[in-house]
Amino acid sequence: MSAGIAYDQARTAWRRAAPANARALDLPVTELLTGFHPDRKRGTRSKLMIGPNAGQKAPIALARLLQSDSLLQDVDIAGAPTLEADVLVIGGGGAGCIAALTAARAGARVLVATKLGLGDSNTVMAEGGIQAAVGADDSLQRHFEDTLRAGHFSADKELVAALVSGGPSAIRWLIREGMSFDLAEGSQRMGGTLRRKTPGGATAARLLSFRDFTGLELMRAVREATLLQSSITILERHPALELLSDDRGRCAGAVLHDLARGQAVVARSAATVLTTGGSGRLHLAGFPTSNHYGATADGLVLAYRLGALLRDIDSFQYHPTGIAWPAPLEGQLISEAARSAGAFLVNGLGQRFVDELQPRDIVASAILREIAEGRAAVRDDKVGVFLDTPSLERARPGILGRDLVTLRHLAGRAGFDPAEEPFLVRPTLHYQNGGVQINVAGHTTVPGLLAAGEVTGGLHGNNRMMGNALLELVVFGRRAGASAAADARRDRPRNIGLTHLADWRRAMEGHRLPLDRKAPLLFPPYGNFDPVRDRRRGA
Amino acid sequence: MAPVRLVIDGHPIEGEPGTSLLQAWVAAGLPLTENVGCMGQGVCGACRVLVRRPGERLAQTGLACETLVEDGMQVAFINLSRRSRPHPYDLHALGDSWDAIGRIDELFPEAKRCRHCGGCDSACPKGIEVQQMVHLAAVGQTYAAAELFDDCVQCNLCVAACPEHIDPAHLGQLVRRMTASMTLRPSDLIMRLHEIEAGEQPIDLDAPGALPPSSSIENEPVQGTGDQR
């Protein structure tokens, strides 16, 4: 990374030029992405040697985790306390709670195991909203095509069709669970219309929201419903270490780690739903992240070791405007609402360098190019470009106080007034576009194993549209929960154990992969936690 | 700047000025496996702490991701299980809105016995008028009560602070959920649902717009494909 321009000098250049003139990208998009998008960077990916996706590429850090040995041996689960359920849900964010509720209401006895507390997840952090084609000027077909186009036509069409056609009924379901939505100005609660915003890349206004904390409002209602559902047992601080298998290769539950006691717990189930979320806390290619603390790709590791096919695992979303300075706030998200409202990106020379409303992968790459080529500003060793909020406030007085409440709050914590000073921003790791392959019913390629939410792949292709993440977790949380409850009535696993690990270890040895590399990670390295040592404490 | 000295859960640590309590805790090499979630956005309510500053007699509640380290601070994480539910109810079995408002008292009978000690108000890290919400809910003004709880992050500090076991966080959710599920009936959503049920919103998987354009798509960026989250 080049040094860049000293902050004072860059600030003077910004101030002199503000508001800077529009300047289009002076590089073909293909060259920009190839040269600067983190997914495309040479030397950052490696080929998987074992498992169902052998031969395909994944980011090096993720490939290491996927090709790791289990944290468990057979002896670790001998005599461990055993729990039984019809449906085991691993992960307690939005998708997990919704899958659990749906399965429980279909008559299943449900166990929810979650690493942190119920609801502590990326869902609760989602600000923008949830897409559903409800407007008279909109249609399911438009939502379908917009989603495919945004993902560069690499998404699974059947999944996308299921996603968009489930949109309106997902909103009805959420309202029935007690979630509120903003109404159009002057609209009545009965017979009025919903407030609709236009998500980037959409051909109609389709984004429904609750203020600028839609995810929190969703999670509050759904968490409360889950806590109150009598046939759901919740195990907080119980991350999964390994999936269980039966003698036919079915998933048969999971081995959990009870963090309070440092003990393994065996959770046997007829159907298992993975809702473990994403992987921002892997900090791929050294990037900061906007993700919550538990996003460490655990679900991908568990599913892959049991033989589930993954897809698009080399595709990640880098949100263009993470905070670059000050250090304690690094990686935290400044909502895209700022750019939608008209805030410019300005480099250390006082110049704009890209149309700010281009797709995220393009804007993020353009910022990374300014940094790489030495045109970014440097403040206390932190490098970034300016997000020009003062010019926005001058052009649209009052907007920071009225519409960008969270942004103002962030500036306050950073210790400056966004109407006077611009933010220093750089891309932050935001979303895992790919994941475990599922079908429209939520089944993975392993019998007995289902998945929903960010852990899955196929819905977003190589680039996710805003508002489709919350929709996904509702639509597919419900589908996976219903399928799991139905599956549990049909078939139950037999001769349960860790039999799949023998083949896995043979494959690792065959490819000279080090058996001392263990996964899942559970917590980021700076969490100062070692699961193996923790289990000795409980033994 | 010189590091500041503080004590968290009995561990004397040094923290960089400008960092949060949570960041100082992990920087000191201590294990972080609980009381953490969103790690700084202040929305998950998981990192509750009790903080006493030098010279102050009383401790204050807060969130460890939003509270910055200060010299001489004494900090304790507050572990609150959010799973014990003394006020169970089924939202879908409350009857219609005529019945439901009357049942608030049956479900949360302690609410009318609020003794106005203000404990909940001072415990709330988001500055919500908790006591006022309890009052409004108790007298059936559900919508006004619900609005007061817009910013709640369900940290449950008000639950811990209440000597009458009113469970304000959950009472707040009851009135919020009741209001939404019983009164929000958007016409655009309802019309679209009817169309879908009548088969009037088919999806054509092979429509021209569902196929990649023959020219290189990479060189024709679509307008602003993004996410405002």
Domain contains A44: no
Nearest C-alpha in B relative to A218: B177
**How far apart, in whole angstroms, are the C-alpha atoms of residue B172 and residue A534?**
38
Closest CA to A107 of A140, A129, A85: A85
Q: Which residue among A183, A292, A527 places its CB closest to the CB of B186?
A: A183
Q: Tens of pLDDT along A302-344? A: 999 999 999 999 999 999 999 999 999 999 999 888 888 889 9
Best residue of A34, A101, A134, A142 to probe chain B, by most B CBs closer than 10 Å: A134
Contact at CB, B38 and A118, closer than 8 angstroms: no
Question: In the prediction, which pLDDT does B226 show?
Answer: 41
Neighbours of A428 (CB within 10 A): 26
The rounded distance, in Å, linking the Cα atoms of A282 and A313 is 13
In this complex, how many residue pairs, one in chain A and one in chain B, have their CB atoms less than 8 Å apart? Answer: 283
Nearest-by-Cβ selection for B32 from A327, A431, A528: A528
Fold for B4-77, please state it.
Answer: Ubiquitin-like (UB roll) (3.10.20)
Rg (CA), chain A: 23
**What CATH code is carried by the domain that includes residue A267?**
3.50.50.60
User: How close A515 gets to chain B, by Cα (Å)?
Assistant: 25
Listed in sequence order, the residues at least 6 apart from A426 whose beta carbon sits closer than 8 Å to its beta carbon are A322, A324, A367, A368, A371, A376, A383, A384, A385
Contact A199/B226, CB-based, under 8 Å?
yes
- The pLDDT assigned to A80 comes to 95
CA distance A342 to chain B (A): 12
The whole-number pLDDT of residue B82 equals: 58
B-interface mutation test, from A292, A365, A521, A530, most B Cβ less than 10 A away: A292
Query: What is the enclosing helix (H) or strand (E) of A59?
Result: strand A57-59
- Partners of A194 in beta bridges: A183
Element of type H or E holding A429: strand A423-432
- Report pLDDT digits (tens) over B8-44: 999 999 999 999 999 999 999 999 999 999 998 889 9
Domain assignment present for residue A502? The answer is: no
Does A305 map to a domain?
yes
**Count helices and strands in chain B by DSSP H and E runs:** 8, 5
Residue A2, pLDDT score: 54
On whether the CB atoms of residues B178 and B100 are closer than 8 A, the answer is yes
Cβ A528–B26 below 8 Å, yes or no? yes
Question: Residue A169: closest CA among chain B residues belongs to which residue?
Answer: B193
Residue numbers in B near A221 (CB within 8 A)? 173, 176-177, 180
Distance (Å, rounded) from C-alpha A116 to C-alpha A91?
A: 9
- The DSSP secondary-structure symbol of A356 reads T
- Which tokens go with A480? 């996976």
- Asked if residues B31 and B21 have their Cβ atoms less than 8 Å apart, the reply is no
Same-domain pairing of A217 and A274: yes
Residues A325 and A424 in one domain: yes
**Side chain identity, residue A425:** V
Residue A338 C-alpha, separation from nearest chain B C-alpha, in angstroms: 8
From B130's Cα to the closest Cα of chain A, the distance in A is: 17
Cβ count near B153 (within 10 Å): 27
Chain B contacts of A224, Cβ < 8 Å? Answer: 170, 173, 177
Nearest CA in chain B to A409: B41
Angstroms from B36 CA to nearest CA on chain A: 7
B152 neighbourhood in chain A, CB within 8 Å: 220
| Percent of residues, chain A, with pLDDT higher than 90 | 88
Name every residue whose Cβ is closer than 8 Å to that of residue A510 and which is 6 or more positions away in sequence. Answer: A50
Subunit contact A158:B205, Cβ cutoff 8 A: yes
- Residue from the list B81, B201, B218 with its beta carbon closest to the beta carbon of A30: B218
* A154 is a domain residue: no
> Least CA distance to A229: which residue of chain B?
B90
Q: In A433-527, which ranges are E strands?
A: 435-437, 449-451, 456-457
Single-letter amino acid, residue B32? L
CA angle A388, A392, A396 (to 5 degrees): 175
Q: Same domain, yes or no, for A113 and A259?
A: yes
Select the residue of B92, B185, B224 nearest A189 (Cβ to Cβ).
B185
Q: Are residues A247 and A297 in the same domain?
A: yes
Judge whether A104 lies within some domain: yes
Shared domain check, A486 and A396: no
**Known catalytic residue: A512?**
no
Q: Is residue B110 a contact partner of residue B165, using CB atoms and an 8 Å limit?
A: yes
pLDDT at A359: 80
Among B85, B192, B227, whose Cβ lies nearest the Cβ of A228?
B85
Domain assignment present for A245: yes
Contact B33 A326 (CB under 8 A): no
CB contacts, 8 Å: B36 with chain A: 116, 120, 293
Amino acid of residue A173: W
CA distance B210 to chain A (A): 5
Residue pair A466/A129 in contact by the 8 Å Cβ criterion: yes
- How would you class B173 by CB atoms within 10 Å of its CB: exposed for 0-12, middle for 13-18, buried for 19 or more? buried
Q: What is the CATH number of the domain that holds A368?
A: 3.90.700.10
Q: For residue B46, list chain A residues with Cβ-Cβ distance below 8 A.
A: 116-117, 120
Please indicate, yes or no, whether residues A469 and A420 belong to a single structural domain of this protein: no
Instruction: Give the whole-angstrom CA distance, residue A171 versus residue A168.
Output: 5
> Which among B33, B178, B185 is the nearest to A529, CB-wise?
B33
Asked if B178 and A178 come within 8 Å (Cβ–Cβ), the reply is yes
Q: A234: which strand partners?
A: A112
What number of CA atoms fall less than 13 Å from residue A273's CA on the CB side? Answer: 44
Contact list, B96 vs chain A (CB under 8 Å): none
- Are residues A23 and A92 located together in one domain of the fold? no
Does some domain include residue A57? no
Predicted pLDDT at A256: 98
CB-CB neighbors (< 8 A) of B196 in chain A: 140, 165, 168-169
**Nearest CB partner across the interface for B228, out of A29, A466, A529:** A466
Facing residue for B219 by CB, picked from A28, A215, A465: A28
CA dihedral B114→B117→B123→B127, nearest 10 degrees, is 80
Shortest distance, CA A512 to any CA of chain B (angstroms) = 32
Contact A430, A125 (CB under 8 A): no
Contact flag A234-B224 (C-beta cutoff 8 Å):
no
Decide if B23 and A328 are in contact by the 8 Å CB cutoff.
Answer: yes
Distance, CA of A300 to CA of B96 (rounded, Å) = 44
- Give the DSSP H or E segment for B177: helix B168-183
**CB B204, CB A15: distance < 8 Å:** no
From B90, B154, B210, residue closest to A223, measured CB to CB = B154
Domain extents in chain B: 4-77, 91-183
Residue A157 lies in a domain: no
Q: Which of A238, A243, A244, A245 is nearest to A264 (CA)?
A: A238
The pLDDT, as a whole number, for residue B80 is: 83
CB spacing of A332 vs B226 below 8 angstroms: no
Inter-chain residue contact A469 with B229, CB threshold 8 Å: yes
Show the low-confidence residues of chain A (pLDDT under 70): 1-2, 539
Smallest Cα distance from B98 to chain A, Å: 16
CB contact under 8 A, B205 and A191: no
> Of the residues A11, A250, A352, A360, which is catalytic?
A360
pLDDT of residue A357: 84
Note if the bond before B86 is cis, omega within 30 degrees: no
Please provide the CATH number assigned to the domain covering B91-183: 1.10.1060.10
For residue B69, the chain A residue with the least C-alpha distance is A328
Domain range for residue A222?
74-123+213-315+433-490
Is the domain of A230 the same as that of A363?
A: no
- Cβ-Cβ contacts under 8 Å, B193 against chain A: 168-169, 172
* Contact: B226, A464; criterion CB under 8 Å: no
pLDDT tens-digit map of A117-139: 999 999 999 988 999 999 999 99
B90 by Cβ neighbours in 10 Å (0-12 / 13-18 / 19+) ranks as: exposed
In chain A, the number of structural domains is 2
Which residues of chain B register pLDDT less than 70? 81-84, 215-229
